[in-house]
């Protein structure tokens, strides 16, 4: 059985080898058909502490690594712009 893979944005990297990833889900309301956005936060294992806040990463479901950590960072899809680059724009 394949493991689940999700794509989300890193919102916290303050822990050692752990990042918090926010994954958005867009679904239409069954009656009103308005698109509802829900956000789930997952803690994921980042072996090299390479993820920065704002990075878009792909995470994969894995065995429990701690009380709350059940995901593993597979790769970085997009990098966050640094603060210097944002100020220049």
pLDDT of res. 86: 60
Whether the Cβ atoms of residue 73 and residue 51 lie closer than 8 Å to each other: yes
Whole-model pTM?
0.84
For the segment 4-25, the average pLDDT, to the nearest whole number, is 97
Q: Could you write out the three-class secondary structure of the chain?
A: CCCCEEEEEEEEEEECCEEEEEEEEEEECCCCCCEEEEEEEEEEECCCCCCCCCCEEEEEECCCCCCCEEEEEEEEEECCCCHHHHHHC
What's phi and psi for 61, nearest 5 deg? -65, 140
Taking residue 19's Cβ as centre, other Cβ atoms within 10 Å add up to 27
Taking residue 60's Cβ as centre, other Cβ atoms within 10 Å add up to 16
Q: Under CATH, domain 5-88 is a member of which superfamily?
A: Nucleic acid-binding proteins (2.40.50.140)
Q: Is the pLDDT of residue 83 over 60?
A: no
pLDDT of res. 2: 84
pLDDT of res. 49: 94
Confidence label for 35 from pLDDT (cuts 50, 70 and 90): very high
């Amino acid at each position: 059985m394949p493991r689940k893979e999700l794509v989300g944005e890193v919102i916290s990297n303050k822990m050692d080898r752990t990042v918090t990833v926010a994954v958005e889900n867009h679904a239409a309301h069954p009656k009103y058909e308005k698109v509802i956005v829900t956000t789930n936060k997952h803690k994921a294992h980042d072996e090299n502490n390479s993820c920065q806040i704002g990075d878009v990463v792909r995470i994969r479901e894995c065995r429990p690594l701690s009380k709350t950590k059940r995901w593993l960072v597979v790769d970085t899809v997009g990098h966050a712009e640094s603060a210097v680059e944002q100020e220049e724009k």
